[in-house]
């Protein structure tokens, strides 16, 4: 955990955009960076370490804290070298310049630590499946926000990718996270549910906010109905119950179920509170 002042710049069309920010966490694969505005999904940005005056290219992996009026926290992978296309996804080669850029010595990895994390993820646009190697930064974003922004060669654009949906014999759980998410969801269902309608605030990591009501609540989460399209595995910040006048405490949560409402465009969504470490 290290606060390093940085300047992030990128090109938006023909305009060069710059903003100041700082890191909240640094590792050998990149950093968490807090900035006062949104960054372009999946794009390459130029980051200047204003403390050392060193520059390098980084790739925007995704949000690890929701976008609010004060900005957001992003996972950035890098420093980066050559880029190439592989299996429809743009892949960045990380170079050993992290120590020079951050001025930190990262000890050599143990053999078990060097093994790449592998995950089967799904394009939420066309449901294409892909098995990918994840860096620490990508795994951090996927576990926190539940989504990675990656190019899809079927959709021909950047799309959100999340954990692959897994069929289940239980009719009410046709869309769930793969293990260990499924095991955690089953555990959360052991909590007694109460048919209680409470006002609830749903905040997406991308900055969208919905204020609605719960269908039922339990110690482990709640269910709500919405016409919006939420994705299985998507990370949220929620306040339940929500008050329009009092100060609300928002906590991390995750969409773990999705069930269409017959005859409507709505869906029932199951939300599980994040388990504290």
pLDDT greater than 50 at residue 176: no
Q: Is residue 176 part of a domain?
A: no
- Same-domain check for residues 32 and 125: yes
Residues 6 or more apart whose CB falls under 8 angstroms from that of 63 comprise 72, 73, 74, 75, 141, 144, 145, 205, 206
Residues 6 or more apart whose CB falls under 8 angstroms from that of 15 comprise none
- Same-domain check for residues 153 and 221: no
Q: Is residue 106 part of a domain?
A: yes
pLDDT digits (tens, 9 = 90+) for 59-95: 999 888 887 777 889 999 988 864 433 334 444 444 4
pLDDT band per the 50, 70, 90 thresholds, residue 114: low
- Same-domain check for residues 18 and 146: yes
- Same-domain check for residues 16 and 135: yes
Q: Is residue 93 part of a domain?
A: yes
Q: Please give the pLDDT value at position 81.
A: 63
- Same-domain check for residues 24 and 148: yes
- Same-domain check for residues 42 and 141: yes
Q: Is residue 170 part of a domain?
A: no
- Same-domain check for residues 156 and 201: no
- Same-domain check for residues 146 and 21: yes
Q: Is residue 228 part of a domain?
A: yes
Q: Is residue 171 part of a domain?
A: no
Q: Please give the pLDDT value at position 143.
A: 81
**CATH number, residue 241:** 2.40.10.220
From residue 75, alpha-carbon distances to 12, 21, 93, 272 in Å are 20, 13, 16, 23
User: Residue 250's domain spans which residues?
Assistant: 191-273
User: pTM of the prediction?
Assistant: 0.70
Q: In sequence order, what E strands does 234-277 have?
A: 235-239, 251-260, 267-273
Number of domains in the chain: 2
- Same-domain check for residues 198 and 143: no
| Cα distance between residue 269 and residue 58, in whole Å | 35
- Same-domain check for residues 60 and 131: yes
From residue 89, alpha-carbon distances to 2, 140, 148, 168, 205 in Å are 31, 19, 11, 29, 22
- Same-domain check for residues 88 and 125: yes
Residue with tokens 């465009």: 265
């Amino acid at each position: 955990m290290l606060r390093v002042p940085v300047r992030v710049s990128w090109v938006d069309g023909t305009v060069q955009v710059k903003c100041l920010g700082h890191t909240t966490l640094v590792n050998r694969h990149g950093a968490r960076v807090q900035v006062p505005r949104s960054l372009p999904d999946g794009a390459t940005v130029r980051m200047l370490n204003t403390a050392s005056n060193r520059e390098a290219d980084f790739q925007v992996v995704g949000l690890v804290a929701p976008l609010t009026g004060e900005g957001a926290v992003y996972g950035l992978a890098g420093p980066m070298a050559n880029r190439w296309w592989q299996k429809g996804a743009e892949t960045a080669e990380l170079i050993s310049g992290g120590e020079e850029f951050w001025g930190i010595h990262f000890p050599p990895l143990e053999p078990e630590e060097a093994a790449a994390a592998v995950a089967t993820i799904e394009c939420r646009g066309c449901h294409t499946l892909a098995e990918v190697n994840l860096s620490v930064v990508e795994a951090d974003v996927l576990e926190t926000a539940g989504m990675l922004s990656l190019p899809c060669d079927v959709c021909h654009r950047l799309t959100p990718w999340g954990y692959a949906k897994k069929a289940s014999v239980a009719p009410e759980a046709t869309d769930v996270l793969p293990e260990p998410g499924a095991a955690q969801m089953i555990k959360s269902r052991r909590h007694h549910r109460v048919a209680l309608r409470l006002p609830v605030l749903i905040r997406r990591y991308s900055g969208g906010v919905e204020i609605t009501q719960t269908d039922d609540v339990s110690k482990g989460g709640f269910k709500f109905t919405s016409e919006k399209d939420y994705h299985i595995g998507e990370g949220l910040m929620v306040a339940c119950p929500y008050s329009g006048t009092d100060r609300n405490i928002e906590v991390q949560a995750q969409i773990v179920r999705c069930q269409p409402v017959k005859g409507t465009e709505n869906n029932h969504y199951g939300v599980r509170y994040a388990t504290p470490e």
